[in-house]
Amino acid sequence: MINLQPIRKNFYVPHPVVQKRSQHEVDEYRRSREIYVKNQAPNPIQNFSEANFPDYVMDSIIKQGYESPTAIQAQGWPTALSGKDLVGIAKTGSGKTLAYILPAIVHINNQQQLSRGDGPIALVLAPTRELAQQIQEVANEFGHSSYIRNTCIFGGSPKGPQARDLERGVEIIIATPGRLIDFLQRGTTNLKRCTYLVLDEADRMLDMGFEPQIRKILEQIRPDRQTLMWSATWPKEVQKLANDFLNDFVQINIGSLQTSANHNIHQIVDVCQETEKEQKLGTLLQEIGNTLDPDSKIIIFVETKKKVEGITRTIGKYGWPALSIHGDKSQNERDYVLRTFRTGGQYSILVATDVAARGLDVDGIKYVINYDYPHSSEDYIHRIGRTGRSDTTGTSYAFFTPSNYKHAKDLISVLQEAKQTINPKLSEMANRFGLGGNRNRWGQNNGGYQHRNNNGPRQNSRWNNNGGSQATYGSYKSY
């Protein structure tokens, strides 16, 4: 309802070399890096100098020692710098954070300075507190040379210091939705100056768990803002919803148009019974321990908070001291745990719920173990993506039980796309249950595995002390 000053969003000055490239050369480059673009986008750049970033940005890139832009950066930077709305889908660990942070810095430096009482120019929304803090680190590293101030707004920490940052004025806010809404309602900050909006892990941010909060925040931001959404996965269900928040956008996919995992990860699926998992984990840890270089880290994903506690205790008893993280721990403890895990040393194992599934970039994770299979192949892709970051490699394991049968077909597609060996037992399970549904073509239920509780005497297992089934609404789950 307020009178909006016009804004400038296009700051892209193409490098003459980039501009002169023939369509054939551009197509060839896109093909070689598996860049797929929907709608009109500028030519991709092929090295850092072609991005035409200002010196203060180039200096920080050089300091990192990166050799060349990743594919999503090569196509994402010119597109974002030219002010377009953008959906960027690229594998885990492929540098999406910098793909949106560097254009944010340029965008901010081309806006009028903040006045007293102004809110941020750029807003980055992320699903977890730890991810928000990690993004802040990147913003610190790359924004400090141009004196861009930022703050991280997230629940579970005292409001005072966050409020003081907001009152002083910051150009970038990196936030989880709940705490930001709280500050917006109190009037501690506002989004009237916000012209650059990022949803990191956008499919997660738009799913049922977050969507109402996202709507609430986005309706306070001017409609002609630039909106950028990023993830490694982009399921159909959120694509339509995303249209509500984007204008005439460019979509960039790297590698594949289907749901796909990072190909640097060796994926192993062990089809087993629920009751066998405990022993299998022990064997696996032992195997890894015997061959492991001392610095490599392991992350074990389980379904419930309670089970995180149980497994941490049990493996600890058997001589594998482990850290653990889930949503019922205090923020202090969560911060301590992640800091310790990042540092490495005595603790090289982290047991976690899906709170650690998305976006976290921890050096040295070589193994991801899905003790419990997640609720979707998207979640699986994000979880295993904690290894194989940047140009490193890693290995993932998944214990897949008869009660996970519904996911067999999707998992096989993910494995096939990544040219992984398919466990015949998994294929058998997928075939038995047909095309994803649990009804055959005569409309009768299939027999066998679909009985949810035929997965052995759960209550007898030392680790299955989760006291019954957890809400399986996927996105509603509280991790």
Ligand X SMILES: Nc1ncnc2c1ncn2[C@@H]1O[C@H](COP(=O)(O)OP(=O)(O)OP(=O)(O)O)[C@@H](O)[C@H]1O
Under the rule (CB under 5 A), what is the footprint of Mg ion? 96, 359
Residue 124 Cβ, how far from Mg ion at the closest point, in Å?
11
CA distances from residue 63 to 57, 97, 186, 193, 365 in whole angstroms, order as listed: 10, 17, 40, 31, 24
Report if residue 94 touches ligand X, rule: CB under 6 A.
yes
Site for ligand X in 21-60 (CB under 6 A): none
- Residue 337: Cβ within 10 Å count: 21
Burial of 391 (0-12, 13-18, 19+ CB in 10 A): exposed
Q: Indicate whether 98 belongs to the interface with ligand X (CB under 6 A).
A: yes
Q: Minimum Å distance from CB 359 to ligand X? A: 4
Shortest distance (Å) from residue 251 CB to Mg ion: 17
When CB distances are held under 5 to 8 angstroms depending on the partner's kind, the choice from Mg ion, ligand X, none that residue 389 binds is ligand X
Applying CB under 6 A, does 388 fall inside the site for ligand X?
no
Query: Between 306 and 383, whose beta carbon lies closer to ligand X?
Result: 383
88 forms part of the interface with ligand X (CB under 6 A):
no
User: Could you tell me the smallest distance in angstroms from the CB atom of residue 39 to ligand X?
Assistant: 22
Q: Which two tokens stand for residue 177?
A: 């939705």
Q: C-beta of 431: minimal distance to ligand X in Å? A: 32
End-to-end CA distance of the chain: 38
Q: Under a CB-based contact definition with an 8 Å cutoff, are residues 205 and 127 in contact?
A: yes
**What does 70 bind: Mg ion, ligand X, none (CB cut-off 5 to 8 Å by kind)?**
ligand X
Cβ neighbours of residue 7 closer than 8 Å, sequence gap 6 or more? 111, 195, 222, 224, 225
Identify what 232 binds: ligand X, Mg ion, none; CB under 5 to 8 Å per kind.
ligand X
Told to check if 390 binds ligand X by CB under 6 A, we report: yes
Rule CB under 6 A: say whether 389 interacts with ligand X.
yes
Report the nearest approach of Mg ion to the CB of residue 164 (Å).
28
**Gyration radius of the chain's alpha carbons:** 23
Q: Is 401 in the site for ligand X (CB under 6 A)?
A: no
Question: Does 66 contact ligand X by CB under 6 A?
Answer: yes
**Site residue total, ligand X (CB under 6 A):** 18
Q: How far is the CB of 89 from ligand X (least distance, A)?
A: 10
Per-residue binder mask for ligand X (CB under 6 A), 207-246, x = binder: -------------------------x--------------
The site map against ligand X for 330-369 (x = CB under 6 A) is -----------------------------x-x--------
Q: Which does 93 bind (CB under 5 to 8 A by kind): ligand X, Mg ion, none?
A: ligand X
**Nearest CB to ligand X, comparing residues 94 and 348:** 94
* Contact residue for ligand X among 69, 143, 177, 402 (CB under 6 A): 69
Q: Residue 344 to residues 338, 349, 369, 399, 476: CA-CA distances in angstroms?
A: 10, 9, 18, 26, 32
Task: Report 101-120 residues binding ligand X (CB under 6 A).
Answer: none
Q: Does the footprint of ligand X cover residue 75 (CB under 6 A)?
A: no
Query: What is the distance between the alpha carbons of residues 385 and 362, in angstroms, rounded to a whole number?
Result: 11
Cβ–Cβ under 8 Å, residues 119 and 191: yes
Residue whose token pair is 């049968």: 405
162 is in the binding site of which of Mg ion, ligand X, none (Cβ under 5 to 8 A by kind)? none
Catalog residues that contact ligand X under the rule CB under 6 A.
66, 69-70, 73, 90, 92-98, 232, 359, 361, 385, 389-390
